[in-house]
Amino acid sequence: MFESAELGHKIDKATYDAEVPKLREALLDAQFDLGEKAKFPVIILIGGLDGAGRGETVNLINEWMDPRFIDTHGMGEPSDEEMERPMMWRFWRALPPKGKIGVFLGSWYTWPILNRARGLINSAELVQSLERAKRLEKMLADEGALLIKFWLHLSKDKQEERLKLLEKNPKTRWRVTKRDWNNYKRYDKFLTIHETVIRHTSTAEAPWIVVEGADARYRSLTVGKVILESIRKRLAEVDQKKERAIRAAPLLPPIDNLSILKTLDLTQKLDKRKFSAALEKYQGKLALLSRDPRFKEITVLTVFEGNDAAGKGGSIRRITGAVDARQYQVVPIAAPTEEERAQPYLWRFWRNLPRKGRITIFDRSWYGRVLVERVEKFCAEADWMRAYLEINDFEAQLVRHKIVVVKFWLAISKEEQLRRFEERKQTGFKRFKITDDDWRNREKWEDYEQAICDMVDRTSTGDAPWTLVEANDKYFARIKVLKTLCQRIESAMNTVELK
Amino acid sequence: MFESAELGHKIDKATYDAEVPKLREALLDAQFDLGEKAKFPVIILIGGLDGAGRGETVNLINEWMDPRFIDTHGMGEPSDEEMERPMMWRFWRALPPKGKIGVFLGSWYTWPILNRARGLINSAELVQSLERAKRLEKMLADEGALLIKFWLHLSKDKQEERLKLLEKNPKTRWRVTKRDWNNYKRYDKFLTIHETVIRHTSTAEAPWIVVEGADARYRSLTVGKVILESIRKRLAEVDQKKERAIRAAPLLPPIDNLSILKTLDLTQKLDKRKFSAALEKYQGKLALLSRDPRFKEITVLTVFEGNDAAGKGGSIRRITGAVDARQYQVVPIAAPTEEERAQPYLWRFWRNLPRKGRITIFDRSWYGRVLVERVEKFCAEADWMRAYLEINDFEAQLVRHKIVVVKFWLAISKEEQLRRFEERKQTGFKRFKITDDDWRNREKWEDYEQAICDMVDRTSTGDAPWTLVEANDKYFARIKVLKTLCQRIESAMNTVELK
């Protein structure tokens, strides 16, 4: 795997000096076009061996290009705010927007490699981590990001040679520590891990570019040229604007017309007296749960989706009414802002992930991708088709970080919706205004119904299941929501061990 | 000061039950208009005594209004990311955008009050903190924010009564801790401090609304009505769009036409050989400084302003070339994004403040307010006039937090600018394109000159001085920049004591 990177590649000074000025001009030119078009971000990962020139390469990129449009991230120890979120949060918050370049010296590969080297995970777990990294990169690439992954390599002999040379010179002797020699001794061990990494995660979207690191001139010119050609190629592609074809089987409605939504018993009801009693009971329970010391150790993420006028707002208020206002945050999802549009669609949800001991309630969510964006054709079939997998990956990361993901679909019948629309027309309250959009959505009732069923089938998982809420009766719906939420929080809290 | 809030205000249940539904409807209505117009944010501070119903009030606001458009902030212990920035950073990151409501239970008053009660600051220092808070609030108000500050009060007798009542009931006994009785004993001490706070910070823009907290119904109705009327009044004002008048004396150019810019000796030069030697020297020095262990304890914030084509980019690259890319961040300031436009103009600079041990370089900055925005009349005279004070306050906060603020004005002559413009026309490099804006700015050379002189006069302070850089000769300019930066970092580092 590293054969070509142990050949002793070298570039002489004359060639280097002749090539560099042209390369730098071309890089600046490409960077200018990148910024002007602002159609995609560039994510550069610099991995590889100690001493193979990773730090130098990062500085080189900043020197050769315009550092005003490059963000460089060392990714050392995570801060406490980062520790309270899933591992990937710190990368999401550091992603460059379209038109900019992000250079990452530590990446999502760093911890899997170190953990494997320390024996904290076995080889199957390493591969599992790598598969996750691969899916993340595929998603970024599908969202348009240009990923350039460099792996800087040194042969064992070159590594030894380098350390001895540094030690010989009194001026550089301090740079060689015991840790360096220890790492050297474990060279073969690391090599095996690195091979696994390169093999599993060199994909069509984001192949590793292995570069021999021993000769600085060779390394620098190679890195510079790869970056230049990658950006140029992608800029040319962007101009062509090809529609991505999808080869997947189309999602068809069940041929007997029996769907999960049709099996819901929407006639279920609760009378006002029973509702009041149950509301008191479950709000009281939720209040106690959220004040339990173990609650500080978990995070709750609640998603509300549902037909227009299904009563999402009312259900949300029954939750917030029971919890201290400092503990929750409601995130209403409307059209994305300019900054959000310059990022992958999941970015705005990552940025709203709460710290521990809190409840975040999304009023509509990332499921817009497979609902409104699918039905209204705001994105291509290929885009919403891949979203099921991306969303499952996203939620799996949350669940692994002990975040309780509670998802509600509030279902009402087409007739009930009409009744509520008409009712709203009568009230004077502006906030209950029915818009043209609402009526338009209603015309596509069947398309939405299929999208909802596909969503439930494809994203209801053991750890992050959908709860379908029969919402023709508001009382019944609100209690079902509260009860489900309490159960989910309770069972998550039972797994918490207080120190 | 608290006389009216010790009268034993009470509202009977019948009145309350009759008033609340109307009030809630009206609040929801006002909140809807607030969001629809999205012209200003609402910042609600809830201060006051323990047991006077602060937590209840926060929850009430969320219950009566739509919690989806309210962000509630408890502001407990700061995180490590917050500790590494000036105290106000955590409030800036929590400010609501236009159209939304932010409720703060802890505020910029919390720490001054506690520190004074603990004897950590004397009364003069308390007043100084309050003056800062006042200036912050004035700025927020001038930027359009609606500030509503509630102070919930309880008389000493009522406080005692409340604690005894809680202790008597076995179900609530646990709520009374030793700390509560200790605070009760220090009631008079706290009262004196609170009086000082209310007196100094009840301003025309943001008066404290003192509310007796003993009776929940009285308190709730009062708070609700104040919020409603405040929002309604401001919404009406927004519709009128009155131009703010300014009564200040106009800023005139010096009558003898002698200005600080005219005193610069722009003929200063460095030949290439001397430049190379000096560049090596100062870049080497900067490299050493930034790798010094004491550097981890400081933060450096560099501002580059200057005439178009004065060579800001080139000077910045000479800095970044000497520092590890993981330690610096360059922030190019272009037109604000949608999210930035929904916030006070300083918000986007606060959001880019670095953690410790880093250098942030602003390529253009908050000074746009008193330069381009003034000259091009993008903001009213009243707005840029107040900006000098606001900017000085902002920088003073940075300096108090041991941030080294280094500000450069790169000055070239009108003739030199023309020469560079013509030269750029010749080169093929797109990134050096001269835009129509550049030519237009040039026509207003004299207006800009006055704005620059006023800026230097009004914002060059002992702690955050302007360095005027004679930049007709690029070599000379780059060395002056590097040398100044090294000096400033060095003298800041000399005050750092390593643990």
Half-sphere exposure of A293 (CA within 13 A, CB side): 3
Tokens linked to A385: 């088709």
What is the per-residue pLDDT across A180-226, written as a single tens digit (0 to 9) for each? Answer: 898 899 999 999 999 999 988 988 889 999 999 999 999 999 999 99
**Is A62 an interface residue toward B (CB < 8 Å)?**
yes
Mean pLDDT on A90-112:
94
pLDDT given for residue A109 in this prediction: 95
* C-alpha to C-alpha distance for A359 and A301, rounded to whole angstroms: 6
Half-sphere exposure of A492 (CA within 13 A, CB side): 28
Rg (CA), chain B: 27
Chain A: residue nearest B331 by CA?
Answer: A68
H-only helix segments in A302-413: 312-320, 338-341, 347-350, 372-375, 381-400
User: Between chain A and chain B, how many beta carbons pairs sit less than 8 Å apart?
Assistant: 120
Judging contacts by C-beta atoms under 8 Å, the chain A residues touching residue B431 are 28-29, 32, 66
Among A465-479, B243-257, B298-312, whose mean pLDDT is lowest? B243-257
pLDDT given for residue A348 in this prediction: 94
**Is B358 an interface residue toward A (CB < 8 Å)?**
no
The answer on pLDDT for B248 being more than 70 is no
| Cβ distance of B29 and A430 shorter than 8 Å | yes
* C-alpha to C-alpha distance for B148 and B227, rounded to whole angstroms: 7
CA distance B61 to chain A (A): 9
Q: Quote the longest CA-to-CA distance of chain B.
A: 89
Query: Fold match between A3-240 and A261-493?
Result: yes
Mean pLDDT on A312-321:
94
Q: Where are the domains of chain B?
A: 3-240, 272-493
pLDDT given for residue A248 in this prediction: 67
| Cβ distance of B68 and A332 shorter than 8 Å | yes
Query: Please, which pLDDT band fits residue A484 given cuts at 50, 70 and 90?
Result: very high
Mean pLDDT on B414-442:
85
Chain A: residue nearest B105 by CA?
Answer: A326
- Which of these, A82, A60, A56, lies nearest to A70 by C-alpha position? A60
Query: Please, which pLDDT band fits residue B426 given cuts at 50, 70 and 90?
Result: confident
CA distance A125 to chain B (A): 30
What is the average pLDDT value for chain A, to the nearest integer?
A: 91
pLDDT given for residue A293 in this prediction: 92
Rg (CA), chain A: 27
- In chain B, positions 362-401, which contact chain A (CB-CB < 8 Å)? 363
Give the helix/strand (H/E) hosting B73: strand B70-73
| Cβ distance of A316 and B29 shorter than 8 Å | no
Q: Which among A25, A62, A317 is the nearest to B320, CB-wise?
A: A62
Query: Around Cβ A301, how many Cβ atoms within 10 Å?
Result: 24
**Plot region of A9 (φ>0 → left; ψ -120 to 50 → alpha; else → beta):** beta
The answer on pLDDT for B245 being more than 70 is no
Q: Which among A61, A325, A331 is the nearest to B72, CB-wise?
A: A325
How would you class A67 by CB atoms within 10 Å of its CB: exposed for 0-12, middle for 13-18, buried for 19 or more? buried
- In chain B, positions 433-462, which contact chain A (CB-CB < 8 Å)? none
Judging contacts by C-beta atoms under 8 Å, the chain A residues touching residue B69 are 332
Contact predicate A400/A86, CB 8 Å = yes
**Is B6 an interface residue toward A (CB < 8 Å)?**
no
> CATH code for B272-493?
3.40.50.300
- In chain A, positions 76-105, which contact chain B (CB-CB < 8 Å)? 79-81, 103, 105
Query: Please, which pLDDT band fits residue A245 given cuts at 50, 70 and 90?
Result: low
| Cβ distance of B103 and A325 shorter than 8 Å | yes
A3-240 carries CATH number 3.40.50.300: yes
| Helix%, strand%, coil% for chain B, nearest 5 | 55, 10, 35
pLDDT given for residue B174 in this prediction: 81
CA distance A256 to chain B (A): 40
- Which of these, B305, B9, B260, lies nearest to B158 by C-alpha position? B9
Mutation for A interface: B27, B58, B68, most A CBs within 10 A: B68
| Cβ distance of A325 and B33 shorter than 8 Å | no
CA distance B33 to chain A (A): 9
pLDDT given for residue B6 in this prediction: 86
**Is B463 an interface residue toward A (CB < 8 Å)?**
no
What is the per-residue pLDDT across A330-369, written as a single tens digit (0 to 9) for each? Answer: 999 988 999 999 999 999 999 999 889 999 999 999 999 9
What is the per-residue pLDDT across B125-180, written as a single tens digit (0 to 9) for each? Answer: 999 999 999 999 999 999 999 999 999 999 999 999 999 998 998 888 888 888 88
DSSP label at residue B168: H
Q: What is the DSSP string of A74-112?
A: ---SPPHHHHTS-TTHHHHTTPPPTT-EEEESS-TTHHH
Q: Which among B320, B324, B429 is the nearest to A67, CB-wise?
A: B320
Contact predicate B323/A55, CB 8 Å = no
Query: Please, which pLDDT band fits residue A239 given cuts at 50, 70 and 90?
Result: confident
What is the per-residue pLDDT across B202-231, written as a single tens digit (0 to 9) for each? Answer: 988 899 999 999 999 999 999 999 999 999
Judging contacts by C-beta atoms under 8 Å, the chain A residues touching residue B81 are 79-81
The answer on pLDDT for A491 being more than 70 is yes
**Is A25 an interface residue toward B (CB < 8 Å)?**
yes
* Amino acid at the residue B489: I
**Cα A267-A268-A270 angle, rounded to 5 deg:** 130
Return the residue matching tokens 């005594």: B49
Query: Please, which pLDDT band fits residue A247 given cuts at 50, 70 and 90?
Result: low
Mutation for A interface: B320, B339, B343, B430, most A CBs within 10 A: B320
Residue A495 Cα to chain centre, angstroms: 26
- Which of these, A355, A266, A283, A285, lies nearest to A319 by C-alpha position? A283
**Is A56 an interface residue toward B (CB < 8 Å)?**
no
> CATH code for A261-493?
3.40.50.300
pLDDT given for residue A252 in this prediction: 76
Judging contacts by C-beta atoms under 8 Å, the chain B residues touching residue A56 are none
| Cβ distance of A59 and B329 shorter than 8 Å | no
How would you class A246 by CB atoms within 10 Å of its CB: exposed for 0-12, middle for 13-18, buried for 19 or more? middle
Q: Which among B62, B81, B431 is the nearest to A81, CB-wise?
A: B81
The answer on pLDDT for B488 being more than 90 is yes
What is the per-residue pLDDT across B467-477, written as a single tens digit (0 to 9) for each? Answer: 999 999 999 99
Chain B: residue nearest A66 by CA?
Answer: B317
The answer on pLDDT for A244 being more than 90 is no
pLDDT given for residue B348 in this prediction: 94
How would you class A236 by CB atoms within 10 Å of its CB: exposed for 0-12, middle for 13-18, buried for 19 or more? exposed
* C-alpha to C-alpha distance for A387 and A378, rounded to whole angstroms: 13
What is the per-residue pLDDT across A261-297, written as a single tens digit (0 to 9) for each? Answer: 989 999 999 999 999 999 999 999 999 999 999 999 9
Backbone angles phi, psi at A470, to 5 degrees: -75, 110
CA distances from B25 to A144, B64, B104 (A): 46, 9, 23
| Cβ distance of B326 and A105 shorter than 8 Å | yes
Return the residue matching tokens 């004397």: B122
The answer on pLDDT for A376 being more than 80 is yes
* C-alpha to C-alpha distance for B5 and B22, rounded to whole angstroms: 25
Chain A: residue nearest B333 by CA?
Answer: A68
* C-alpha to C-alpha distance for A379 and A415, rounded to whole angstroms: 30
| Cβ distance of A363 and B68 shorter than 8 Å | yes
pLDDT given for residue B498 in this prediction: 77
**Is A341 an interface residue toward B (CB < 8 Å)?**
no
Contact predicate A329/A361, CB 8 Å = yes
The answer on pLDDT for A438 being more than 80 is yes
**Is A319 an interface residue toward B (CB < 8 Å)?**
no
* C-alpha to C-alpha distance for B235 and B241, rounded to whole angstroms: 10
The answer on pLDDT for A243 being more than 70 is no
What is the average pLDDT value for chain B, to the nearest integer?
A: 91
CA distances from A345 to A365, A366, A480 (A): 11, 8, 30
* C-alpha to C-alpha distance for A127 and A121, rounded to whole angstroms: 10
Query: Please, which pLDDT band fits residue B242 given cuts at 50, 70 and 90?
Result: low
* C-alpha to C-alpha distance for A149 and A225, rounded to whole angstroms: 13
| Cβ distance of A337 and B339 shorter than 8 Å | yes
Q: Where are the beta strands (DSSP E) in A158-213?
A: 208-212
**Is B61 an interface residue toward A (CB < 8 Å)?**
yes
**Is B69 an interface residue toward A (CB < 8 Å)?**
yes
